[in-house]
Amino acid sequence: MIKSKKVIASLVAFAAIASAQIAMATPGNISIRLDCPDIGSKGTEIVTNYGSVLTGPGIERVGTHASTFPIFSGVNPGGVPMDLVVGGYSNHSTAYNPGTGVVTCTYASSLGNPPFELTLQMQNAFNGIVTKSESDEINIKFTMGVKA
């Protein structure tokens, strides 16, 4: 009987300590910066028109970790010339859908050619908050677990 009281007391103490630590814990945040592929003829992150599909590698930076080069892609809406530089295209805007985890890069032409979009389906990147959005870059903050 004495041993069981000690075990119960130990379990109660452990539960109290664990509960106090969890209650004091705050969510940790991680930031992701995505650069959309560029329109141009030089560099590595360039949009290419393959006819029915437009695609290109962007740049993804997670926190302070090294960059990766995810592929953005989209369906050609029709009327987009093969040479995007001659077509007058440039990065127009960026957007993020927190429900789907999709990042969208929108491109517009200064010569009146139809606009197009490239998208990237981020893995496990839902419910983020956009902290900065420019014509060619978007920063998204995610709450990840807890930080003690």
Buried b / exposed e along 90-102 (16+ C-beta atoms within 10 A): ebbbbebeeeebe
Report the share of the chain in percent with pLDDT over 70: 79
Q: Give the count of beta carbons closer than 10 Å to the beta carbon of residue 120.
A: 22
Whether 120 has a pLDDT exceeding 70, the answer reads yes
Q: What is the pLDDT of residue 123?
A: 86
Whether 8 has a pLDDT exceeding 50, the answer reads no
Global pTM?
0.78
Tokens 């993804």 label which residue?
A: 60
Closest by alpha carbon to 120, among 63, 68, 52? 68
Q: What is the pLDDT of residue 16?
A: 46
Cβ neighbours for 42, distance < 8 A, ≥ 6 positions apart: none
Structural tokens at position 13: 């103490």
Q: What is the pLDDT of residue 9?
A: 43
